[in-house]
């Protein structure tokens, strides 16, 4: 942060962290150190999506809760031999276009298969988070915080986070005294890497929920009970870089968000638009190629075989 010229505060001990943020009283006496980026913040996702749709204006037609069941990238929509890409929805509606951008997250390979295109070496993680009830008098000193620690058990990936009430949109305050904070982990459940959504468990793992509850009790002792829990899919690549590439004529793909793509949405949009329009991308897309070695199924198989031989 010093090299980047970012304003920050460094806390040398757990005691200093607890003093600065009383809600993190569990840090007192711990061999912790921390850094606070004083100008950091968070994005309210729902409002951000609404703002981006508003910015798109009349040029954007949005269909929500609409499942694509077929994608023909060599369609003959007008019956005269003119190539069109045709997507068909679950209720029989057809959408025709000269170009398509696939941004289907954990369903990427399912859609690529519909179009008879090669799959990409992606993995899906089950990532868990929850809301905890807390008095507003306590919540005001809960920062947006990430805790990197050594795992306490084989199932504990070690990375936990808490978002303050001001960043929690999906649960509304129910009275004047209490509010809610979001706590989650940034490691996969014991189910491990999944090939797709067919085996995804939206209930998540009780083991991970117990780890989260224990982390809250240890570090945020004045935070109350967990009131809900969720499991969301992360689409991961082997090297944690995004996929942004053209995979066939008129077909571009964004995938491999790896749990951190949303904050870059405007720039990613510009980069993906460049693949469609042919304009220069604001960022070199070479490192995001769908054909890079780390996304090769053959490379992964070879690596596994080498490890086994060793």
- Rounded Cα distance, 169 and 105, in Å: 22
Domain of residue 177 covers 123-236
Residues 101 and 57 reside in one and the same domain:
yes
pTM confidence score: 0.88
- Rounded Cα distance, 232 and 105, in Å: 11
Residues 296 and 215 reside in one and the same domain:
no
Residue 254 contacts residue 242 (beta carbons within 8 Å): yes
306 confidence band (pLDDT: 50, 70, 90): very low
The radius of gyration of the chain from alpha carbons, rounded to an integer in Å, stands at 23
Residues 13 and 102 reside in one and the same domain:
no
The conformation of residue 60, written as its DSSP 8-state character, comes to -
Residues 6+ apart with CB under 8 A from 238: 121, 123, 294, 295, 300
Residues 61 and 118 reside in one and the same domain:
yes
pLDDT in tens, 216-243: 999 999 999 999 999 999 999 999 999 9
Please count the structural domains in the chain: 3
pLDDT in tens, 159-195: 999 998 888 776 766 688 999 999 999 999 999 899 9
Nearest Cα to Cα of residue 73 among 86, 63, 60: 86
């Amino acid at each position: 942060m010093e090299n980047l010229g970012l304003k920050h505060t460094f806390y040398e001990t757990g005691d200093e962290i607890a003093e600065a943020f009383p809600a993190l009283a569990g840090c007192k006496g711990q061999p912790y150190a921390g850094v606070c980026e004083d100008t950091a913040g968070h994005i309210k996702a729902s409002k951000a999506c609404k703002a981006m749709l508003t910015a798109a204006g009349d040029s954007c037609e949005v269909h929500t809760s609409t499942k694509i069941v077929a994608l023909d990238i060599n369609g003959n929509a007008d019956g005269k031999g003119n190539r069109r890409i045709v997507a068909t929805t679950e209720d029989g509606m057809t959408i025709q276009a000269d170009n398509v951008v696939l941004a289907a997250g954990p369903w990427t390979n399912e859609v690529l298969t519909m179009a008879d295109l090669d799959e990409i070496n992606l993995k899906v993680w089950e990532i868990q988070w929850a809301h905890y009830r807390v008095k507003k008098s306590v919540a005001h000193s809960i920062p947006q915080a990430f805790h990197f620690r050594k795992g306490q058990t084989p199932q504990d990936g070690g990375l936990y986070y808490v978002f303050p009430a001001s960043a929690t949109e999906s649960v509304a305050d129910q009275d004047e005294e209490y509010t809610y904070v979001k706590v989650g982990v940034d490691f996969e459940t014991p189910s491990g890497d999944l090939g797709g959504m067919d085996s995804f468990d939206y209930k998540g793992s009780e083991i991970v929920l117990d780890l989260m509850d224990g982390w809250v009790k240890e570090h945020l002792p004045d935070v109350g009970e967990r009131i809900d829990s969720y499991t969301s899919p992360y689409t991961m690549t082997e090297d944690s870089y995004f996929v942004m590439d053209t995979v066939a004529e008129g077909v571009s793909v964004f995938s491999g968000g790896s749990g951190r793509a949303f904050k870059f949405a405007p720039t990613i949009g510009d980069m993906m638009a460049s693949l469609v329009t042919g304009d220069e991308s604001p960022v070199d897309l070479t490192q995001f190629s769908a054909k890079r070695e780390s996304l090769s199924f053959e490379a992964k198989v070879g690596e596994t075989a080498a490890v086994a031989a060793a």
